[in-house]
Structure 1
Amino acid sequence: MIKKANLADIIARKKQGELDKFQVAYYDSETLGMQIEIRKIPLSKYMNLVENIDGETVHGMNALIYECCPMFKENVKEAMEIYEVGEPMDLPSAVLEDQLNEIKDIVEIINTFYGLDKIGEDIKN
């Protein structure tokens, strides 16, 4: 039996939804020997970034990681000089020493924020 909707329940669900929108995960980087904080970004921004990842290019994955990991936006100019990169979006692969396995792992964590891990499981089954 379906429960009748009432405004108090809908308001409570909306407030919970607002809390759920802010999601944070951490990735243990072996390359860096520390955790990288990963934050969920708005769906529209995520979709725009994902649409630009053609065949999982490193550039596209870098852009996604750059937007979702606050650490890459700190001291950007200094980091760009130290890692000798031309644009901020290239920092993730430079900092992670081009370790494709770590880059892909972080992208997979980002995808779980939007339920894409569940889609992969359904396809496997």
Structure 2
Amino acid sequence: MLMELTKIFSPQNRRLIKFTSPIASQQELLLERFSGSEGLSTLFSFELSLISQDARLELKSLIGQPASLDIELASGESRYIHGFISRFSLQKSDGGLACYSATLSPWLWMLSRRFDSRIFQDQTIEDILRTVFAHYG
């Protein structure tokens, strides 16, 4: 019950664009601004500026974690962008607020981080995709 009350009074509930991450509510990250790009046959990428009252977040703990943006449209409907944090860094801290930057990327982006090559012979495209994707969960 107490957890539900903290969510009701959270600064996120009064915002048109909400950022959600696996961070505990005491260390909540608020979206200050964002920009990004989407396109057909390309991976999306969103650059996020985030603020928090905690300047001691474990930066590495957020890399690769799921996160989402919930954008309230003029019609009242929501548009959700789900992805993974591919970059996270502390920009500055003034003792009261800490400013972080992050990049939100799709799950498929993780496949671009491979440095080795594989050769698949006598397999269908479906079999190859299953094999490659199985390694990444």
Coarse TM-score class (shorter-chain normalised): under 0.3
Higher share in helix: 1
TM-score by length of 1: 0.23
